[in-house]
Every structure is written in structure tokens, then in C-alpha cells.
Amino acid sequence: MTKEQILARLAELNTATEARSLTDEENAEWKALQADMGRINDTEQFRASYKAYVTPANHVGVHVGTPKVDDTEMRAFSDYLRTGKGNADLESRAQTVGSNAGGGYLVPQTMLDRIETRMKAFGGIASEAQVEATDSGETLTFPTNDDTANKAVIVGENATPTSGGADLTLGQVSVGAYTWTTSGANQNPISITWQLLQDSNRDIAALVADRIAERFQRGQADFWVNGTGSSQPFGITTNTTTTSMFTAATIDKDELIAAVHDVDPAYRNDAIWVFNDATLEAIRKLEDSTGRPLWTPQASAGLEGSIGGTLLGHRVVIDQSFANYTDGGTNKWGVFGAVKTGYLIRRVNGMRLIVDDYSGKSAARIEYAAHVRADGTVQNPHAYTVLKNAA
């Protein structure tokens, strides 16, 4: 019984016996109700005591706030971005992490995180490839192997396995660390007007970070796709181990299906299509024999944030560095396969930024030049096929 039910029954007994004594049965019931009420009160006292044990005490006059994040370095770097003048906080850190004869300072991790996030948002090969980050820039060598031609066999008891073709053969690829700058081949640095820099409400670090990310992503994307490997990264289309030739004047459904099957099934679970937006526009017009589009938008495919949707059941990634599909040409206009397995990007941790408050004085501007080190190469050419026009 609940406390309310016990109290209600006690009230009934009191009313019924107001003019007389309790009978033996009523007396026994009253004692039972009294015992039940005692157990309920004991239980409530136990609950209250337990709550007091596990609830932290609030001491009067003591306020425990959120620990303050030490943003000294970021504030010092923001001042450097506005003025081009380093201060004691930046000089102290430079002495700790090492100085650069070219000047400038290492970008704080907070700003570097924003740059890296913005670069990933551009998509393309860089967002799908395997990325290895290292603290130094010496050449790295990675082992490679394609073992899809080999398989296990049954052997009889005490039988000697047939030799030949079963040995694991390892190759290797090397990846270095080219130096990249946001100034570009035309020495056109990022610049911001003094008027904008004097606006204290403007997040200058975020603005500069976004411009740096855009320039690095646009510049590097071309090499991740088309790099020759000679004094520059080895692009993903430079691989000619597997090539799917397209002979039709426009993109053809049957040739797309054939390209899927040019990739070994072992790599197709993670396979994606990568090509530019003009190619996607042409593919969106293709239909199967029942009139249904070959391409499925991201919402219908259950994808979030993928503007490419899916094609023949595989996700589409847009990379504007690929050439257009061209009738009669020999353009390498896309790839299909397990890009993360097939392509490797190596980045060296850290980014150095130089603020030049002198060169742009006549135009009332401050200029910025950032430097990073990175390289890319094909690590498994069997994991994907290059989509190419046949002349």
C-alpha cells in the first residue's frame, strides 16, 4: 500500500470507531497499517540519505567556473596578422619549435585545424585518398603488393604444394615532401586592406585561414589528379595499369558498366567515381532501359553532404581538376575504384606563415604567404581504373 492508501484506511477506522473501542480485528489491522507506514517512512529516509551522499555539496561563496582556455598564442598571432610585427609570445614559441631562415612563424594549432577542415570541405581526391601526416619531411618508402591473382588450394596429406606463382612479391613506392606556397607561380600573395585589418570585430585569423585553404586546395588538387611525378607529385591519372576506354561520342551506359567490372571485385566494396561537375551533368541525363536515371541524388541514396549522389550503386565525388569527357580526344576524365587504397597523400605537420607589412604599403595592404610540405603518389594501381576517352 502507498502512504496515501494507508492514511485513507486509518481515516476510515477512526470514523468507524469514533464512538467505541477497537475490536481485536481492527486493532490488528491498525498495527499492520502502522508497521507499513513505518517501512515507508524508513524507505523515504534511506532515499534522502543516499541522495545526500552522491550529490556534490554546494559550498556557499565558492564558484567553480569552466577552466579558461589559454589563448595567449592565438591572440599574439592575430596581432601579428594585423601588424606584421611579432611579439614576445611568438618569439618565445619560435625558439621552442625552431626558427626558419625564411622568416615567419608556425601557424597555431587552432588556426591550422580550421585550414585543414576547410581544405577537406573542398572534396575531391584529397578528401578520399589515404593521408599520412609526419613531423619531418624525409622521403618515405611504402611496400606495395597486389595478391588478387593468388589463392589457397587443397593439398593431400604429406603432399608437397605445387610451386610457382604463390610467392608474395612486394614492390615499393616513395613519397617525398614538396614545398608549396600560397603566392603561386605569379607571386600573387594573399593581401588584406588596412581598413579591414583595423576592424577589431573581424576575425582576421579565420579570414586568412580560409584564403590559405582555398589556395592550397586549388593548387594541390591539380597535382593529385594530373601530376607527372617529375619534380611534382605523381597524380592518380598517371597510373596506366588499368584504363577503361570510352569510345562513344557521349558517355554511354554500357561503357560505364564495363568500367565497374574493370576493377577487381576485391576493391569494389569501397569503390567510388571521381570526375568533374560537367561530366556529372552529362551522366545525370542517362537512363536505363526502363527509363530510370542511372544517377541517384544524395538524399535518395541516403547520403549526407555528398553533392555527387551515386552512380550504378557507387558514390560520386566531384573534383574539378579532371578534364571533361571529350569525343575524339584522349582525355583522362575520371577514375573509378577504391581511391583510399589506390592513392596516398603525405603531409608534413606544421605550416609557416609570413606577414609582409612592407611590400603592399603603397596600396595600404598587408600581404601573406604560407608554406607547407606535401606529396602524393599512387600506392596501388590495381585498386582503380582511369576513365579515358578513345581517340
Please check whether residue 10 lies inside any domain of the structure: yes
Collapsed DSSP state (helix, strand, coil) of residue 242: coil
The verdict on residue 179 lying in a domain is yes
CA 96/CA 100 separation, integer angstroms: 12
**Domain for residue 156, yes or no?**
no
What CATH number is given to the structural domain containing 256?
3.90.1690
Q: Does 260 lie in the same domain as 187? A: yes
Query: Helix (H, G, I), strand (E, B), or coil: what is residue 3?
Result: helix
| Mean of pLDDT values over 116-126 | 80
Question: Do 33 and 82 lie in a common domain?
Answer: no
Q: How many CA atoms lie within 13 A of 46 on its CB side?
A: 6
pLDDT of residue 279: 95
One domain, residues 42 and 101: no
Residue 370: pLDDT band by 50, 70, 90 thresholds? confident
CA dihedral sign, ordered 52, 57, 58, 59: positive
Q: How confident is the model at residue 166 (pLDDT cuts 50, 70, 90)?
A: low
pLDDT at residue 206 tops 70: yes
Q: Evaluate if residue 336 carries a pLDDT over 80.
A: yes
**pLDDT tens-digit profile of 5-28?**
877 777 787 888 777 887 888 888
Residues 291 and 323 in one domain: yes
Together in a domain, 125 and 261: yes
Top pLDDT among 163 and 237 is at 237
Over 80: is that where the pLDDT of 119 sits? no
Co-location of 360 and 221 in the same domain: yes
pLDDT band at 319 (very low <50, low <70, confident <90, very high): very high
Q: Are residues 39 and 109 in the same domain?
A: no
Rounded to whole angstroms, the maximal C-alpha distance in the chain is 116
Residue 154 belongs to a domain: no
Cβ atoms within 10 Å, residue 338: 21
For the chain, the domain total comes to 2
Mean pLDDT of 247-265: 94
pLDDT for the residue numbered 203: 77
**287 and 242 co-located in one domain:** yes
Q: Establish if 116 belongs to a structural domain.
A: yes
| pLDDT at residue 69 tops 90 | no
Q: Which residues of 232-248 are buried (b: 16+ CB within 10 A; e: fewer)?
A: ebbbbbbbeebebebee
For residue 257, the model assigns a pLDDT of: 96
In a shared domain, residues 44 and 180:
no
pLDDT above 70 coverage of the chain, percent: 78
Q: Looking at the structure, tell me whether residues 179 and 40 fall in a common domain.
A: no
Give yes or no for residue 73 having a pLDDT over 90: no
The answer to whether residues 190 and 328 belong to one domain is yes
- pLDDT of 277: 94
Residue at 160 is within a domain:
no
67 occurs within a structural domain: no
* Mean predicted lDDT score pLDDT of the chain: 80
Same structural domain for residues 79 and 20?
A: no
| Residue 57 in domain | no
- Looking at residue 247, its pLDDT comes to 92
**Domain coverage including residue 272:** 73-146+172-391
Q: Residue 157 half-sphere exposure, CB side, CA atoms within 13 Å?
A: 0
Measured between its terminal Cα atoms, the distance across the chain in Å is 90
Average pLDDT over residues 259-284: 95
If DSSP codes are grouped into helix, strand and coil, which group holds residue 387?
A: strand
Confidence of residue 363 (pLDDT cuts 50, 70, 90): confident
